[in-house]
Structure 1
């Protein structure tokens, strides 16, 4: 019984971390898209966002 609880807890944690990374990736895409459409900020901020997106993509 304990093995089943450990298995389900572990799989729930894995799915939660994957979902958290995916939602963060989605937020970054929406933020960078809004900067590309209407660019009130500097080019450096956009480059930083693209680097963050690349790091998140590599971690997925």
Structure 2
């Protein structure tokens, strides 16, 4: 019985990993929408004040 568990473990792990990535891919549109809808964070290096939106994202796309 133990040998059967050891032999089936890699298949089970692969199935879990595949399901995890499938869920990630399916959730990407929702995640992108949330990022686009979120306010731009305060960035003191851009000369903004707390509560004011910054000039834009600090990461270039």
Q: Would the TM-score normalized by the shorter structure come out above 0.5?
A: no
What range is the shorter-chain TM-score in?
A: 0.3 to 0.5
Q: Larger C-alpha radius of gyration, 1 or 2? A: 2
TM-score by length of 2: 0.43
Q: Which has the higher helix share?
A: 1
TM-score by length of 1: 0.44
